[in-house]
Amino acid sequence: MKPGAMRALWSDPFRVGLLAAGVFTAVNMVSQPAIGGDWTFDHSTTLKLSHVDRSGRDGYSGQVLQATPNLHLHGEGGRVKADINYNPTLSAGTSDTDPEALTHQLFGLAEVEAVEDRFFIGFDTSARLTGNDSSSASVDAVNFNTDNGEQVFTFGITPEFRHHLNQYADIVSRNRFDWVNYSGNDNGSEDSRSQTLNLQLVSGRHFSVFNWRLVANHRKTYFDSDRDDETRKDYRGILEYRINPRWSVNGSIGYEDNEVETDRDDTNGTIWDVGATWTPNPRTQASVEYGDRYFGDRYSGRISHRTRRTRFSADFSREVTNRRTQETVDSLFFLADPNGNPIVDPNTGNPIIVNVPQTRDADEDYLSTQFRGIVTITGRRTNVTITGRVSNRDYEISSDDEDTYGLSVRATRDLGSNFRASLVGSAEHVEGSSNNDNETYDIGFILSKRLSEKSSAALDLSYRDYNDDIPGEDYTEKRIGISFTTTYL
């Protein structure tokens, strides 16, 4: 495919049409098996009028009117299960404001058991707004054009084949095809597509406390630019042993063969790792892994614990990744309930995303070392969530280095008489060896009231303070908005 061909194909009308068609095709797809299942389709529309006052870099002042349909499909029936949240926003501004006319927020997961016990097809899709570098801070429809934002679309298909050989072994092939596309301001971001072919020979029913797998992966990524395509291959043998109900250990050894853009002399060689998982009770689990790849030490860990009123989760890792991977995987770091379902903001209808980092406008690989955690406390009338993140990125080609520190707090309280108040605060500090250092502080307050079973109204206030070490780049932004949400059916 020639450079630019993919971007031309994904022109705005085509992309928006495909996005809408995908969402409503999913709705229609699940409507048939829903007869014997449990499905919920929530829908409403939010109208919002905001006054925005920004001073400093690219200052402006005026009003912005927005309309946002809120669509949420969730359930399971027959051989289909899905969870889809879609929120397109139409915006128009007065005076010298310059909102983006149409933006999309989408999160969708679905799985179809096409052939019982043998063939499964998974789908995942997302659409979100992002800045093109670490100095953009968070971007929405209002400041999209002012802060050089991008609309990012991802779509993935995961067909999985399973075949039972005998009591000793089964064959599994879990393949994947995905696309990442950008639109909005011309930031030079690279549209891309990837295909992963996977073949596994796994232990059969004869094995209980001892399990094994032989795995082969071949992934090819194609970029719609002059950048060379990438190929990543690995072959591994994996052993898992359950010592007792509380402890299990695992290890793997294999070989990787990569053709990627990097300044390293060699990206091939032996790979190995060892790990352990501790599950003292159904509410607590901790795991850790350590190994070696072409870039050196690789490690990761995760711990989670929940009680009747609290949930805690934290993870850390050191791994080579890139912006494309973050768009398809890392960006989906949602607040979730005890069942693992995304928590939806009652004021906006969107899944609550925490600590989504802004990334440089570059698709080169980088060595990412990060720690992130989340604590949620649930009371009878008050919910509090605290998230934190520390990360370092060491780029493979440019040798640039970035450090990011982030903290956010969210508190929601039911006040009675159908009133609810939410207070949100966050702080982020970014240091870069080639880019400018900056700090962003955000605080917001929302007071909402349910007017009836089908309608509610809200008042929200927000303030942002952005500080940059480059003269003239600082700015502050204040907003006040009123909104009305109604269910139209």
The pLDDT profile of the chain, 489 residues, written as one tens digit per residue, is 334 444 444 444 445 445 544 544 444 444 444 335 788 888 899 999 999 999 998 899 999 999 999 998 889 888 899 988 899 999 999 988 999 999 998 888 899 999 998 999 999 998 988 876 655 677 899 998 888 888 889 999 999 999 999 999 999 999 999 999 988 655 556 788 999 999 999 999 888 889 999 999 999 999 887 778 899 999 999 999 999 999 999 999 999 999 988 888 899 999 999 999 999 999 999 999 999 999 999 999 999 999 999 999 999 999 998 888 777 764 444 555 544 455 555 555 555 555 455 555 566 888 999 999 989 999 999 999 999 999 999 988 888 888 999 999 999 999 999 999 999 999 999 888 666 788 999 999 999 999 998 999 999 999 999 999 888 889 999 999 999 999 875
**What pLDDT is attached to residue 208?**
84
Among the listed residues 108, 106, 105, the one whose alpha carbon sits nearest the alpha carbon of residue 140: 105
Amino acid at 345: D
Residue 337's SS3 state is coil
C-alpha to C-alpha distance for 164 and 147, rounded to whole angstroms: 54
Angle of CA points 266, 270, 276, to nearest 5°: 130
- Note the pTM of the prediction, 2 decimals: 0.83
CATH of the domain at 237: 2.40.170
Number of domains the chain is built from: 1
Q: Are 212 and 202 in contact (CB under 8 A)?
A: yes
Phi, psi of 244 (to 5 degrees): -160, 180
The DSSP bridge partners found for residue 393 are 368, 402
Strands 60-77, 102-115: pairing kind: unpaired
Phi, psi of 34 (to 5 degrees): -65, -15
Provide the 10 A C-beta neighbour count for residue 480: 14
- List Cα–Cα distances, 14 to 331, 339, 480, in angstroms: 24, 36, 35
Mind giving me the DSSP string for 377-429? EE-SSEEEEEEEEEEEEEETTT--EEEEEEEEEEEEEEEETTEEEEEEEEEEE
**What pLDDT is attached to residue 365?**
86
Strands 176-184, 419-432: pairing kind: unpaired
**What pLDDT is attached to residue 189?**
67
**What pLDDT is attached to residue 9?**
42
Sign of the Cα pseudo-torsion (248, 333, 351, 125, in order): negative
**What pLDDT is attached to residue 159?**
96
Q: Which domain range does residue 313 map to?
A: 5-486
